Chain A
Amino acid sequence: AQSVTQPDIHITVSEGASLELRCNYSYGATPYLFWYVQSPGQGLQLLLKYFSGDTLVQGIKGFEAEFKRSQSSFNLRKPSVHWSDAAEYFCAASNYGGSQGNLIFGKGTKLSVKP
């Protein structure tokens, strides 16, 4: 069955430190991949997406993600975390473009930022 796994339930980093959130997928073929962020009481906001081409994808708010086919991974990174980045992050995958097919989400990683 198709699935998305986020191995880390909760991560705490210091403000200014680098961040990497892990995401692994299990699909029959390379899916389309997304990262979303959810702040308390808010909807999901799209950070970035990968469909094809360059495996390093730049997103909003200084985030980037790298697609690694050999590892079935799509990890999210940020060089220097800000306190406002504290939120829950969801990795998601789809067989189609986001406008046509439904997304399968991971369970999320909650990010806490300490001063």
Chain B
Amino acid sequence: GAGVSQTPSNKVTEKGKYVELRCDPISGHTALYWYRQSLGQGPEFLIYFQGTGAADDSGLPNDRFFAVRPEGSVSTLKIQRTERGDSAVYLCASSPGKGYYGYTFGSGTRLTVV
């Protein structure tokens, strides 16, 4: 697509539930990133994919968080047993994967855990 698409744009869920957040990167971009932005903070790195594999998942806060990118395009961020502290905007970005282009970010998914 023309840009990075994230769905849903807003998600409200109850504490303890499971959620999936989807990211559709720019066509042909091999690198994909997930960030989390809490209120009043800058984005914090979660995980980076190069192709289908997670090249760096050091930012995932705990084992409730998991992400996949099975075909090297669309990625899904999965959060189990959600907690109120998981409420944030989850941002996805992609880049061509070569050279130094900077990222293109999506508009994010605002997750609210009640």
Which one, A43, A49, A92, A102, contacts B4 given CB within 8 A?
A43
Give every chain B residue within 8 A of A90 (Cβ-Cβ): 42-43
Interface of B is mostly: loop
CA of A30 to CA of B31 in the docked complex: distance in angstroms?
Answer: 23
A44 contacts chain B at the CB level, 8 A cutoff: yes
Residues of B12-41 at the interface with A, using a CB-CB cut-off of 8 Å, are 31, 33, 35, 40-41
- Mask: chain A, 19-59; 1 = CB below 8 Å from B; 0 = not: 00000000000001010100001111110010100000000
B103 touches A51 (CB 8 A): no
CA of A99 to CA of B104 in the docked complex: distance in angstroms?
Answer: 10
Would you give the shortest CB distance from A25 to chain B, in whole angstroms? 13
Give every chain B residue within 8 A of A105 (Cβ-Cβ): 42-44
A82 contacts chain B at the CB level, 8 A cutoff: no
CA of A6 to CA of B45 in the docked complex: distance in angstroms?
Answer: 18
Would you give the shortest CB distance from A47 to chain B, in whole angstroms? 10
Q: How many residues of A are counted as interface, with CB atoms below 8 angstroms from the partner's CB atoms? A: 26
Would you give the shortest CB distance from B47 to chain A, in whole angstroms? 9
Would you give the shortest CB distance from A97 to chain B, in whole angstroms? 3
Residues of B73-114 at the interface with A, using a CB-CB cut-off of 8 Å, are 91, 93, 95-108
Spell out A's residues near B (CB within 8 Å).
4, 32, 34, 36, 41-46, 49, 51, 90, 92, 97-108
Task: Given A99-B103, A102-B33, output 12 extra A-B contacts at Cβ < 8 Å.
Answer: A34-B102, A44-B103, A46-B103, A51-B100, A90-B43, A98-B100, A99-B101, A101-B48, A103-B45, A103-B103, A107-B42, A108-B41
Spell out B's residues near A (CB within 8 Å).
4, 31, 33, 35, 40-45, 48, 56, 59, 91, 93, 95-108
